[in-house]
Amino acid sequence: MAAAAVTLARRIALSGVLFPRSSPQVWGQAARQPPSLLSTQRRAFSNNKILVELDTSSGVATMKFKSPPVNSLSLDFLTEFCISLEKLENDRACRGLIITSTIPRVFSSGLDIMEMCGKSTEHYAEFWRAVQEMWLRLYGSSMVTVAAVNGSSPAGGCLIALSCDYRIMVENPKYVIGLNEAQLGIVAPFWFKDTFVNAVGHRVAERSLQLGLLHSVPEAHRIGLVDEVVPEEKLQEKAVAVVAQWLALPDHARQLTKTMMRKAVLDHMLAHREEDIQNFVNFISKDSIQKSLSMYMEMLKKKKS
Amino acid sequence: MAAAAVTLARRIALSGVLFPRSSPQVWGQAARQPPSLLSTQRRAFSNNKILVELDTSSGVATMKFKSPPVNSLSLDFLTEFCISLEKLENDRACRGLIITSTIPRVFSSGLDIMEMCGKSTEHYAEFWRAVQEMWLRLYGSSMVTVAAVNGSSPAGGCLIALSCDYRIMVENPKYVIGLNEAQLGIVAPFWFKDTFVNAVGHRVAERSLQLGLLHSVPEAHRIGLVDEVVPEEKLQEKAVAVVAQWLALPDHARQLTKTMMRKAVLDHMLAHREEDIQNFVNFISKDSIQKSLSMYMEMLKKKKS
Amino acid sequence: MAAAAVTLARRIALSGVLFPRSSPQVWGQAARQPPSLLSTQRRAFSNNKILVELDTSSGVATMKFKSPPVNSLSLDFLTEFCISLEKLENDRACRGLIITSTIPRVFSSGLDIMEMCGKSTEHYAEFWRAVQEMWLRLYGSSMVTVAAVNGSSPAGGCLIALSCDYRIMVENPKYVIGLNEAQLGIVAPFWFKDTFVNAVGHRVAERSLQLGLLHSVPEAHRIGLVDEVVPEEKLQEKAVAVVAQWLALPDHARQLTKTMMRKAVLDHMLAHREEDIQNFVNFISKDSIQKSLSMYMEMLKKKKS
């Protein structure tokens, strides 16, 4: 485990985009200025899979997933996600974050099955630690976080949305969202479940998880899985307005309140983190699971061709 | 307590219907076959109070309460219920269970007051252990369980419904459902409460339990105490469809997910089981409680005559 | 802390209205009599800030907040509140309590900022202990408690309503209710949060607390923060009817059920009571907090003049 932790740290370090805590001034301390001056206040950094734009005048960053074909959460994607989050978290100019997708019809398809198939146990452990890290950073973020869900969002994609402070989804009869792990014969980890229960309550979560439901947009709205539904062309505007509403509160009070609400669930995961990795590795290494994932991937390949 | 446990085990053993784990083949391994062949694939066993039918082609059993006048949960009823559940649980041909009533207008009237009145403390303890056992087996069942509530369902009757995975109730202005213990001057045990809170949330449970409310069918639907309301003639069909929906999921993933959702409440009860029995025995043995239960029974007798 | 506890006890004793447990007969044992005889069965006691009337025939007391301008919860107010509650709690003639306001448009404005500004740490500790005491007594009251919310009710005022068994609010587009601490740059204590979550669930509480929302009456009704909305002229009548409904249940069963529902949250606070006082004192003593509270008070003064 320690080795895997080092590996993750190394990946982050090697990626070269890690923003050092000691020099926040490069990004930070931008005074608020009128919108007319904004053109020079946009800064962006991009790696392969995520484009990050920070509007230093409003203090709001936007993360755009741009990893074709379906923004699946590979180890590389997760590493880039964690690095970007840490960078923004340490940047005093950034107080809010909007997460959205540039891929048509997909927000994120969830964990990359390729990372769970035919790899070494070390790889599984490293991958799972990265999934945990992503959630720990996002669910515990001190920024205001809004998911602007402009496409389908199953499993791990749904978790990203659930980990934000607010979820806005585009009304489209083709889009679905939910924790559908059970449909694939796997089980959502307890901290996926805890995050889900915190959003929709115990009963809705119990049924939805057991059936591995992917909810239509109106249904997701009705059960509280998303907070608001808008037409595609209003999404960006709405997300900006919601972040602004949340940023109107004093940061300190809002952050302490958020911590108070989420601490129990975060602490519970941290206390069982290594055990959770071990469980994942044992589960995913089983012949029966490997077999069913292989079949699932074959099916996906055939679909494409 | 140990003696009472032995007594329960003996009752189960003596009943002669216990299905031994070592020979599931008698029931099990029936291959799925088209409906036209089904006639030979229905097997039933019945004791005095519950009729159990298993459709080996679909893997769905139906338990029909048939204990006049009101399917009250006597020690005999509970013992038969636990035996039947264990039998089905151990039968590989059985994956789903529908619970319903053959008595008009009543699903189950709840715990049998006769078992709580003028008996020995040993009897009270044995009775309570059987109530606990019923809940432990049903709430923790690995089968898909659907309550097809075709009549009123107060107190312990409501608990049976709450312990299933899904509740369908017949729309009838005369039917009611709820944990109305407080109306009788008694208190629902903490695990009744926990099961209720898991279904309807803390606030609804707090008010409903304190007022001992028996909810009308539309109200029960509105607060989430039942999941769906249908006309009487659609009940069976709907129940079968719901079980089929849940059985479409891989058993293993669905069962692990169910355990994840219910484990905390089940474990909490198991950790306090003996204490809970002692509390019940102490409470029910009080002169004041015995007196008020006697008066209640007198009242019921007068009503009938 | 021990000293502060003594101080509170002394304040209660010195107030002269403390009703001794040993002589409940002065108030108690009034037999139920028909309404026509009621005129002689009303007894009232009043101090500076709260008028208490007990209708011994129905067993229902009414507490009327009468502390201009806005029923803010000063140390004196809280002390009087706790004394009155204890008095009624020990009075066998009293089984129900309605809490309302005589001040137009305000139920209670919440904690008195004057008590938190420019005072000694001993004073802050004494004040906070009194806030805790108020909640412990009200949330844990064995009486049926109904909040008849006839005006706005922010922060601590909202907590009083949340601590009752039932909340009825007057429909008025100008009235608001909510835990808006975050708006003032402070954080609602964990037991405010727990009480709120028990009423409205985790998700609604998370958003409402982080945004410090003051909800309109229809919105408060929709999210479950109030149970019922009535026109001003129906408030008293409705409150009386609700108390009567709850009092129709056997006291013992209702009280034990209430304890079962609220014990976890009450015990959690009691286990961290001194720590919570220390946290409050440390927080409120900070220069930055004192400064922002002073500014807030200046703003309020200017508003008035």
Q: Do B210 and C252 touch (CB under 8 A)?
A: no
Q: Which of A129-138, B12-21, C24-33 has the highest mean pLDDT?
A: A129-138
The whole-number average pLDDT for the span B109-136 is 97
The whole-number average pLDDT for the span B21-47 is 45
Percent with pLDDT over 90 in chain A: 78
Which entry of A96, A110, A180, A209 is annotated as an active-site residue? A180
Q: Do B182 and C246 touch (CB under 8 A)?
A: no
**Residue A85 confidence (pLDDT):** 97
Q: Do B253 and A190 touch (CB under 8 A)?
A: no
How far from the centroid of its chain's Cα atoms is residue B68's Cα? Answer: 16
Q: Please check the confidence at residue C235 and state whether its pLDDT lies above 60.
A: yes
Percent with pLDDT over 70 in chain B: 86
Nearest to A187 among B246, B253, B262 (CB): B253
User: B228 vs chain A: nearest CA distance in angstroms?
Assistant: 13
Of A265-274, B92-101, B202-211, C290-299, which gets the smallest average pLDDT? C290-299
Task: Report the residue count for chain A.
Answer: 305
Q: Evaluate whether C86 touches C130 at the Cβ level (below 8 Å).
A: no
Q: Please check the confidence at residue C261 and state whether its pLDDT lies above 50.
A: yes
Q: Evaluate whether A153 touches A107 at the Cβ level (below 8 Å).
A: yes
Per-residue tokens: C259: 């304890």
For residue C196, the chain B residue with the least C-alpha distance is: B203
Closest CA relative to residue C259, chosen from C143, C93, C117: C143
**Residue A75 confidence (pLDDT):** 97
Q: Do B201 and A206 touch (CB under 8 A)?
A: no
CB < 8 Å to C258, chain B = 206, 210
**Residue B33 confidence (pLDDT):** 37
Q: Do A261 and C185 touch (CB under 8 A)?
A: no
Q: Evaluate whether B141 touches B243 at the Cβ level (below 8 Å).
A: no
Q: Which residue has the higher pLDDT, B10 or B205?
A: B205
Q: Do A209 and B245 touch (CB under 8 A)?
A: no
Q: Do C193 and A261 touch (CB under 8 A)?
A: yes
Nearest to C250 among B185, B190, B201 (CB): B185
Per-residue tokens: A185: 């014969």
C249 touches chain B (CB under 8 A): yes
Q: Do B261 and A205 touch (CB under 8 A)?
A: yes
B185 touches chain C (CB under 8 A): yes
Residues of C catalogued as catalytic: 111, 156, 180-181
- The answer for A 122-181 residues in CB contact with B (under 8 A) is 181
* Separation of alpha carbons C18 and C5, rounded Å: 16
The residue assigned the tokens 């009571």 is: C273
User: Which one of A180, A203, A207, A287 makes the best mutation probe of the B interface by having the most chain B beta carbons within 10 Å?
Assistant: A203
- Measured over all CA atoms, what is the biggest interatomic distance in chain C, rounded to whole angstroms? 60
The residue assigned the tokens 């998700």 is: C203
The whole-number average pLDDT for the span C272-299 is 91
pTM: 0.88
**Residue A59 confidence (pLDDT):** 97
User: C112 vs chain B: nearest CA distance in angstroms?
Assistant: 29
Q: Which residue has the higher pLDDT, B296 or C85?
A: C85
Q: ipTM of this predicted complex?
A: 0.86
**Residue A43 confidence (pLDDT):** 75
Contacting residues for A191 by C-beta, under 8 A, at least 6 apart: A132, A135, A265, A268, A269, A276
A partners (3+ CB pairs within 8 A) are: B, C
Q: Do B261 and A185 touch (CB under 8 A)?
A: no
Per-residue tokens: C274: 């001194």
User: Which one of A246, A257, A267 makes the best mutation probe of the C interface by having the most chain C beta carbons within 10 Å?
Assistant: A257
The whole-number average pLDDT for the span A131-142 is 98
Closest CA relative to residue A143, chosen from A164, A117, A112, A159: A164
Q: Please check the confidence at residue A11 and state whether its pLDDT lies above 90.
A: no
User: B45 vs chain C: nearest CA distance in angstroms?
Assistant: 40
pLDDT tens, A145-194? Answer: 999 999 999 999 999 999 999 999 999 999 999 999 999 888 999 999 99
C partners (3+ CB pairs within 8 A) are: A, B
Nearest to C182 among A198, A224, A254 (CB): A254
CB < 8 Å to C250, chain B = 182, 185
Of B45-49, B186-190, B253-257, C157-161, which gets the smallest average pLDDT? B45-49
Q: How many CB atoms lie within 10 A of CB C241?
A: 12
Closest CA relative to residue C285, chosen from C118, C130, C127: C118
Q: Which residue has the higher pLDDT, A254 or B6?
A: A254
**Residue C303 confidence (pLDDT):** 76
The whole-number average pLDDT for the span C279-287 is 95
Q: Evaluate whether B124 touches B283 at the Cβ level (below 8 Å).
A: no
Q: Do B260 and A202 touch (CB under 8 A)?
A: no
Q: Do C211 and A245 touch (CB under 8 A)?
A: yes
Q: Evaluate whether B126 touches B4 at the Cβ level (below 8 Å).
A: yes
Q: Please check the confidence at residue B120 and state whether its pLDDT lies above 70.
A: yes
CB < 8 Å to B200, chain A = 203
- The answer for A 200-239 residues in CB contact with B (under 8 A) is 201-203, 205-207, 209-212
Q: Evaluate whether A205 touches A214 at the Cβ level (below 8 Å).
A: no
Q: Please check the confidence at residue C250 and state whether its pLDDT lies above 80.
A: yes
* Separation of alpha carbons C45 and A212, rounded Å: 60
Q: Do A260 and C187 touch (CB under 8 A)?
A: yes
CB < 8 Å to B182, chain C = 249-250, 253-254, 257
C256 touches chain B (CB under 8 A): yes
A246 touches chain C (CB under 8 A): yes
Contacting residues for B41 by C-beta, under 8 A, at least 6 apart: B30, B33, B55, B56, B57
* Separation of alpha carbons C209 and C190, rounded Å: 11
* Separation of alpha carbons A97 and A145, rounded Å: 5
Q: Which residue has the higher pLDDT, B94 or C43?
A: B94
The whole-number average pLDDT for the span C296-303 is 81
Q: Which residue has the higher pLDDT, B188 or C24?
A: B188
Q: Please check the confidence at residue A244 and state whether its pLDDT lies above 90.
A: yes
A111 is catalytic: yes
Amino acid, res. B274? E
For residue A225, the chain C residue with the least C-alpha distance is: C203
**Preceding amide of A69 cis, omega within 30:** yes
How many interchain CB pairs under 8 A, A with C?
56
CATH 3.30.390.50 fits C42-304, yes or no: no
Q: Please check the confidence at residue B16 and state whether its pLDDT lies above 90.
A: no
B partners (3+ CB pairs within 8 A) are: A, C
A199 touches chain C (CB under 8 A): yes
Per-residue tokens: C199: 């009423």
Per-residue tokens: B18: 């216990």
Q: Do A253 and C202 touch (CB under 8 A)?
A: no
* Separation of alpha carbons B137 and B118, rounded Å: 28
